[in-house]
């Protein structure tokens, strides 16, 4: 039972910190990809294409095995997993958000510029709030994928929910039962996210 508590505790810690970091970084990268500055656009595109095209396992492999050899300050597995998951998920957040930005009519940005708002203000006060509202469903799919991807971190010694099953089997418990329990709790956690998604969809329904 202790194993379940620590396991899911770590899952939730990994999820919440990575989700917040990925949302922030993803928003910045998404904004870079629609920026009028060519250098910002290029950097954003490069980042998304490199990281998104790499399997998550390899991203985490890099932080678990490659990073310590770079001679940089050592980090524990938990931090490494958070950085890896955030960098990976941010690319999906950025692309989701970019599709949302494209649904906001051009006239909205023109009206914002016409009253004297700067590019940054236009984006943060007028375009992004509307973009977020229109991508709530796909954005939550990204977050749900992140929640489940925390199990990948198990392979790199972060004791989270995915590790529970392995541990149970080692102690002779029937593997299938352990697996079912882990699956059930994930279903409950994801259901929680879905409820949150419906709440935001209702609250932020934008009529045009």
Task: Return residues touching another protein (CB under 8 A).
Answer: 36, 105, 107-108, 110-119, 121, 125-126, 129-130, 133, 204, 206-208
CB 103, min distance to another protein, A: 11
Residue closer to another protein (CB basis): 74 or 116: 116
What is the separation of C-alpha 129 from the centre of its chain, rounded to a whole number of angstroms? 18
The angle formed by the CA atoms of residues 184, 190 and 195, to the nearest 5 degrees, is 125
Residue closer to another protein (CB basis): 100 or 178: 100
CB 206, min distance to another protein, A: 5
CB 112, min distance to another protein, A: 7
- Whether the CA torsion 193, 32, 43, 21 is positive or negative: it is negative
Q: Are 94 and 33 in contact (CB under 8 A)?
A: yes
CB 46, min distance to another protein, A: 24
Residue closer to another protein (CB basis): 171 or 203: 203
CB 133, min distance to another protein, A: 7
Q: Which of 142, 143, 96, 97 is nearest to 124 (CA)?
A: 97
Angle of helix 38-52 relative to helix 2-33, nearest 10 degrees? Answer: 150
Residue closer to another protein (CB basis): 73 or 116: 116
- Which structure tokens are listed for 72? 């940089």
CA separation for the pair 169, 188 (Å, rounded): 23
Residue closer to another protein (CB basis): 133 or 148: 133
């Amino acid at each position: 039972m202790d194993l379940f508590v620590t396991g899911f505790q770590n899952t939730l810690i990994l999820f919440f910190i990575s989700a917040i970091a990925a949302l922030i970084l993803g928003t910045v990268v998404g904004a870079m990809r629609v920026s009028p500055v060519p250098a910002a656009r290029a950097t954003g595109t490069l980042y998304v294409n490199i990281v998104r095209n790499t399997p998550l396992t390899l991203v985490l492999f890099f932080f678990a095995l490659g990073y310590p050899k770079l001679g940089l300050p050592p980090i524990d597995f938990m931090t490494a997993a958070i950085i890896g998951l955030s960098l990976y998920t941010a690319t999906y957040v950025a692309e989701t958000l970019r599709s949302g930005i494209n649904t906001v009519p051009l006239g909205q940005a023109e009206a914002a510029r016409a009253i004297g708002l700067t590019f940054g203000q236009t984006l943060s006060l007028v375009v992004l709030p509307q973009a977020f509202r229109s991508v709530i469903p796909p954005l939550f799919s990204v977050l749900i994928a992140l929640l489940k991807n925390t199990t990948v971190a198990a392979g790199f010694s972060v004791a989270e929910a995915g590790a529970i099953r392995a541990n149970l089997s080692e102690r002779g418990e029937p593997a299938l039962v352990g697996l079912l329990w882990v699956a059930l709790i994930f279903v409950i956690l994801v259901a929680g996210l879905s409820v949150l998604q419906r709440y935001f969809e209702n609250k932020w329904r934008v009529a045009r």
